Protein backbone atom coordinates (compact mmCIF):
# COMPACT_ATOMS: atom_id res chain seq x y z
CA UNK A 1 0.00 0.00 0.00
CA UNK A 2 1.30 3.47 -0.84
CA UNK A 3 0.13 6.94 0.10
CA UNK A 4 -0.80 9.41 -2.63
CA UNK A 5 -2.52 12.11 -0.57
CA UNK A 6 -1.61 13.93 1.60
CA UNK A 7 1.67 14.06 -0.33
CA UNK A 8 4.31 12.06 1.57
CA UNK A 9 7.49 13.87 2.58
CA UNK A 10 9.76 11.25 0.96
CA UNK A 11 9.36 8.21 -1.33
CA UNK A 12 10.06 6.03 1.69
CA UNK A 13 7.18 7.64 3.54
CA UNK A 14 4.89 6.87 0.61
CA UNK A 15 5.54 3.16 1.01
CA UNK A 16 5.44 3.21 4.83
CA UNK A 17 1.75 4.00 5.18
CA UNK A 18 0.60 4.82 8.69
CA UNK A 19 -3.07 3.84 8.63
CA UNK A 20 -3.44 4.98 12.20
CA UNK A 21 -2.37 8.52 11.34
CA UNK A 22 -4.87 8.64 8.47
CA UNK A 23 -7.89 6.85 9.91
CA UNK A 24 -7.64 6.70 13.69
CA UNK A 25 -8.29 9.49 16.13
CA UNK A 26 -11.10 11.26 17.86
CA UNK A 27 -14.29 11.86 15.91
CA UNK A 28 -16.76 14.32 17.35
CA UNK A 29 -20.16 14.80 15.76
CA UNK A 30 -22.22 17.98 15.69
CA UNK A 31 -24.17 18.93 18.81
CA UNK A 32 -26.88 16.47 19.86
CA UNK A 33 -25.80 13.61 17.60
CA UNK A 34 -22.94 11.16 16.94
CA UNK A 35 -20.35 11.32 14.19
CA UNK A 36 -21.62 9.33 11.19
CA UNK A 37 -19.12 7.64 8.90
CA UNK A 38 -19.73 5.23 6.02
CA UNK A 39 -17.52 2.58 4.46
CA UNK A 40 -18.40 1.41 0.94
CA UNK A 41 -16.78 -0.23 -2.08
CA UNK A 42 -17.62 0.38 -5.75
CA UNK A 43 -16.45 -0.71 -9.19
CA UNK A 44 -14.94 1.70 -11.71
CA UNK A 45 -18.32 2.01 -13.42
CA UNK A 46 -20.09 2.78 -10.16
CA UNK A 47 -21.61 -0.55 -9.14
CA UNK A 48 -21.80 -1.19 -5.38
CA UNK A 49 -22.40 -4.93 -5.81
CA UNK A 50 -21.81 -7.83 -8.18
CA UNK A 51 -24.67 -10.33 -8.26
CA UNK A 52 -26.10 -8.67 -5.17
CA UNK A 53 -22.95 -8.87 -3.01
CA UNK A 54 -19.77 -6.85 -2.44
CA UNK A 55 -17.39 -9.80 -2.15
CA UNK A 56 -16.15 -9.63 -5.76
CA UNK A 57 -15.26 -5.95 -5.32
CA UNK A 58 -13.29 -6.33 -2.08
CA UNK A 59 -9.65 -7.43 -1.88
CA UNK A 60 -7.31 -8.11 1.07
CA UNK A 61 -6.36 -4.46 1.61
CA UNK A 62 -10.01 -3.40 1.55
CA UNK A 63 -10.89 -6.06 4.13
CA UNK A 64 -8.00 -4.91 6.35
CA UNK A 65 -9.28 -1.33 6.20
CA UNK A 66 -12.82 -2.63 6.84
CA UNK A 67 -11.59 -4.13 10.12
CA UNK A 68 -9.69 -0.98 11.07
CA UNK A 69 -12.72 1.24 10.55
CA UNK A 70 -14.88 -1.10 12.61
CA UNK A 71 -12.36 -0.66 15.43
CA UNK A 72 -13.06 3.10 15.34
CA UNK A 73 -16.83 2.67 15.63
CA UNK A 74 -19.06 2.51 18.69
CA UNK A 75 -21.86 0.89 16.67
CA UNK A 76 -22.11 -0.54 13.14
CA UNK A 77 -25.30 0.50 11.32
CA UNK A 78 -26.61 -1.72 8.53
CA UNK A 79 -29.87 -2.22 6.66
CA UNK A 80 -31.81 -5.46 6.91
CA UNK A 81 -31.42 -6.13 3.18
CA UNK A 82 -27.64 -5.99 3.50
CA UNK A 83 -27.75 -8.28 6.54
CA UNK A 84 -29.62 -10.86 4.48
CA UNK A 85 -27.56 -10.47 1.28
CA UNK A 86 -24.14 -10.47 2.95
CA UNK A 87 -24.93 -13.03 5.67
CA UNK A 88 -24.00 -10.69 8.51
CA UNK A 89 -22.72 -12.10 11.77
CA UNK A 90 -21.66 -10.34 14.97
CA UNK A 91 -18.51 -8.21 15.13
CA UNK A 92 -15.66 -10.36 16.46
CA UNK A 93 -12.66 -9.40 18.58
CA UNK A 94 -11.99 -7.68 21.87
CA UNK A 95 -14.55 -5.08 22.90
CA UNK A 96 -16.52 -5.29 19.63
CA UNK A 97 -18.98 -2.64 18.57
CA UNK A 98 -22.54 -3.95 18.34
CA UNK A 99 -24.40 -4.23 15.05
CA UNK A 100 -27.53 -2.09 14.71
CA UNK A 101 -29.91 -3.43 12.05
CA UNK A 102 -32.41 -1.02 10.52
CA UNK A 103 -35.67 -2.78 9.64
CA UNK A 104 -39.28 -1.66 9.32
CA UNK A 105 -40.58 -5.15 8.44
CA UNK A 106 -38.53 -7.05 11.07
CA UNK A 107 -38.16 -9.93 8.63
CA UNK A 108 -34.91 -11.20 10.12
CA UNK A 109 -33.51 -14.59 11.09
CA UNK A 110 -33.67 -14.36 14.87
CA UNK A 111 -31.84 -17.71 15.23
CA UNK A 112 -28.79 -16.54 13.26
CA UNK A 113 -25.39 -15.93 14.86
CA UNK A 114 -25.98 -12.18 14.58
CA UNK A 115 -28.51 -12.50 17.41
CA UNK A 116 -27.42 -15.67 19.24
CA UNK A 117 -23.61 -15.29 19.32
CA UNK A 118 -23.03 -11.54 19.61
CA UNK A 119 -20.70 -10.52 22.44
CA UNK A 120 -22.46 -7.16 22.56
CA UNK A 121 -26.25 -7.47 22.07
CA UNK A 122 -27.37 -6.67 18.55
CA UNK A 123 -29.63 -3.63 18.24
CA UNK A 124 -32.68 -3.55 15.99
CA UNK A 125 -33.79 -0.10 14.84
CA UNK A 126 -37.46 -0.06 13.86
CA UNK A 127 -40.56 2.09 14.21
CA UNK A 128 -43.60 2.15 16.47
CA UNK A 129 -45.81 0.93 13.62
CA UNK A 130 -43.85 -2.31 13.09
CA UNK A 131 -45.72 -5.59 13.55
CA UNK A 132 -46.28 -6.13 17.29
CA UNK A 133 -45.65 -9.89 17.17
CA UNK A 134 -42.34 -9.41 15.37
CA UNK A 135 -41.38 -6.64 17.77
CA UNK A 136 -41.97 -8.99 20.70
CA UNK A 137 -39.79 -11.64 19.03
CA UNK A 138 -37.04 -9.11 18.38
CA UNK A 139 -37.02 -8.07 22.02
CA UNK A 140 -36.23 -11.66 23.04
CA UNK A 141 -32.85 -11.64 21.29
CA UNK A 142 -31.96 -7.98 20.68
CA UNK A 143 -32.22 -4.46 22.03
CA UNK A 144 -35.02 -2.57 20.32
CA UNK A 145 -34.54 1.07 19.26
CA UNK A 146 -37.77 2.81 18.23
CA UNK A 147 -37.39 5.71 15.82
CA UNK A 148 -40.42 7.06 14.00
CA UNK A 149 -44.08 6.14 13.82
CA UNK A 150 -44.97 4.28 10.61
CA UNK A 151 -41.48 4.33 9.08
CA UNK A 152 -37.98 4.41 10.54
CA UNK A 153 -36.86 8.01 11.02
CA UNK A 154 -33.13 7.74 10.38
CA UNK A 155 -32.40 11.11 12.02
CA UNK A 156 -34.18 10.06 15.20
CA UNK A 157 -32.39 6.70 15.02
CA UNK A 158 -28.99 8.41 15.01
CA UNK A 159 -30.00 10.57 17.96
CA UNK A 160 -31.23 7.50 19.85
CA UNK A 161 -27.93 5.70 19.24
CA UNK A 162 -26.10 8.74 20.57
CA UNK A 163 -28.20 8.69 23.73
CA UNK A 164 -27.09 5.11 24.25
CA UNK A 165 -23.49 6.28 24.35
CA UNK A 166 -22.51 5.53 20.75
CA UNK A 167 -20.46 8.55 19.71
CA UNK A 168 -19.29 7.15 16.35
CA UNK A 169 -21.74 5.39 14.02
CA UNK A 170 -20.31 3.40 11.09
CA UNK A 171 -22.72 2.69 8.22
CA UNK A 172 -21.75 -0.33 6.10
CA UNK A 173 -24.78 -0.51 3.83
CA UNK A 174 -26.74 -0.74 1.94
CA UNK A 175 -27.16 2.02 -0.64
CA UNK A 176 -30.73 2.84 0.42
CA UNK A 177 -29.66 3.35 4.03
CA UNK A 178 -26.75 5.54 2.98
CA UNK A 179 -29.18 7.46 0.78
CA UNK A 180 -31.37 8.18 3.79
CA UNK A 181 -28.36 9.42 5.76
CA UNK A 182 -27.31 11.68 2.88
CA UNK A 183 -30.80 13.13 2.41
CA UNK A 184 -30.98 13.84 6.15
CA UNK A 185 -27.55 15.57 5.90
CA UNK A 186 -26.06 13.21 8.51
CA UNK A 187 -22.98 11.95 6.65
CA UNK A 188 -19.76 13.32 8.17
CA UNK A 189 -17.20 10.94 6.63
CA UNK A 190 -17.14 8.62 3.62
CA UNK A 191 -14.48 5.95 3.15
CA UNK A 192 -14.80 4.66 -0.41
CA UNK A 193 -12.76 1.85 -1.95
CA UNK A 194 -12.63 2.10 -5.74
CA UNK A 195 -12.11 -1.42 -7.09
CA UNK A 196 -10.26 -1.75 -10.46
CA UNK A 197 -13.13 -3.67 -12.05
CA UNK A 198 -15.78 -2.85 -14.63
CA UNK A 199 -18.84 -4.67 -13.35
CA UNK A 200 -21.49 -3.81 -15.94
CA UNK A 201 -25.04 -4.89 -15.25
CA UNK A 202 -27.57 -2.94 -13.26
CA UNK A 203 -26.02 -3.06 -9.79
CA UNK A 204 -26.87 -0.17 -7.45
CA UNK A 205 -24.63 2.82 -6.82
CA UNK A 206 -23.42 3.38 -3.25
CA UNK A 207 -26.32 5.82 -2.79
CA UNK A 208 -29.76 4.94 -4.13
CA UNK A 209 -33.23 6.33 -3.60
CA UNK A 210 -31.85 9.69 -2.51
CA UNK A 211 -33.64 12.81 -3.76
CA UNK A 212 -31.37 15.78 -3.11
CA UNK A 213 -32.19 19.40 -3.81
CA UNK A 214 -28.48 19.96 -4.44
CA UNK A 215 -25.37 17.73 -4.41
CA UNK A 216 -23.64 17.37 -1.05
CA UNK A 217 -20.00 18.61 -1.10
CA UNK A 218 -17.30 16.52 0.55
CA UNK A 219 -13.59 17.25 1.01
CA UNK A 220 -10.95 14.73 -0.04
CA UNK A 221 -8.77 14.00 3.00
CA UNK A 222 -6.56 11.11 1.86
CA UNK A 223 -5.87 8.68 -1.01
CA UNK A 224 -4.09 5.33 -0.77
CA UNK A 225 -3.34 2.80 -3.50
CA UNK A 226 -2.79 -0.95 -3.29
CA UNK A 227 -2.72 -3.33 -6.26
CA UNK A 228 -4.75 -0.79 -8.31
CA UNK A 229 -7.39 -0.38 -5.60
CA UNK A 230 -7.89 3.23 -4.52
CA UNK A 231 -8.88 4.05 -0.95
CA UNK A 232 -10.53 7.45 -0.75
CA UNK A 233 -11.44 9.21 2.49
CA UNK A 234 -13.78 12.20 2.33
CA UNK A 235 -14.93 14.47 5.12
CA UNK A 236 -17.90 16.81 5.35
CA UNK A 237 -17.17 19.85 3.22
User: What would the pLDDT profile of 22-42 be if each residue is shown by its tens digit?
Assistant: 999 989 888 889 999 999 999
Res. 94 pLDDT band, cuts 50 70 90: low
Strand partners, 229: 226
Cα dist from 207 to 16, 100, 230, whole Å: 33, 19, 19
pTM (2 d.p.): 0.95
At 11, is the pLDDT very low, low, confident or very high (cuts 50, 70, 90)?
A: confident
> Which residues of 44-196 form beta strands (DSSP E)?
75-79, 99-102, 123-126, 143-146, 168-173, 189-195
Mean pLDDT over each residue of the chain, to the nearest integer: 94
Q: Which residue ranges make up each domain of the chain? A: 30-49+74-187+196-236
- pLDDT above 90 covers a percentage of the chain that reads 82
Mean pLDDT, residues 193-221 taken together: 92
Q: Which CATH class is domain 30-49+74-187+196-236?
A: alpha beta
Amino acid sequence: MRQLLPPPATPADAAEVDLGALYDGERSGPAQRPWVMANFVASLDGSAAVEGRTRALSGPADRALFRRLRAQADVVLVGAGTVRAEGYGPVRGAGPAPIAVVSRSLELDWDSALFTEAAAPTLVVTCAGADATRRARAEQVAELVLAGDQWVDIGEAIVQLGRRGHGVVLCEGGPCLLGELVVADLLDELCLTLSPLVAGGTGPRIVTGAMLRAPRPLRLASVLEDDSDLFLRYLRG
